[in-house]
Amino acid sequence: MEFFSIAITVLAAILTYQTWKNGRWMKQSHEDTLALLERIEKGQERIGKGQEEARKEFAEALREIRHMNEEARML
C-alpha cells in the first residue's frame, strides 16, 4: 500500500511539472501568434496603400492617353 501511495505521488509530481511546462509553452505560442497576426495586418495595410497608389497612377495614365487621343483627333 505504501508503494502505491509513493507511486501516485511521483506520478502527480510528473503531471504537475508537465502541466506547468505546457502552460508556459501555450503562453509563448499565444504571444508568438499575436505578434505574427500583427505583422500580417501591417503587411496588408502596406499592400493596400501600394494598390491605392497604383490605381491612382493607372487612372492618371488613362487620363493622359484620353487627352492624347483627343488631341490626335483634332489634327
pLDDT in tens, 31-68: 999 999 999 999 888 888 888 888 999 999 999 998 88
Q: Is the pLDDT of residue 18 over 90?
A: yes
SS3 string, 39-59, reads HHHHHHHHHHHHHHHHHHHHH
What was the pLDDT predicted at 16?
Answer: 95
Q: Is 17 left (phi over 0), alpha (psi -120 to 50) or beta?
A: alpha
How far apart are the two ends of the chain, measured CA to CA in Å? 109
Question: Three-class SS of residue 1?
Answer: coil
Q: Is the pLDDT of residue 75 over 80?
A: no
Q: Which residue has the cell 494598390?
A: 51
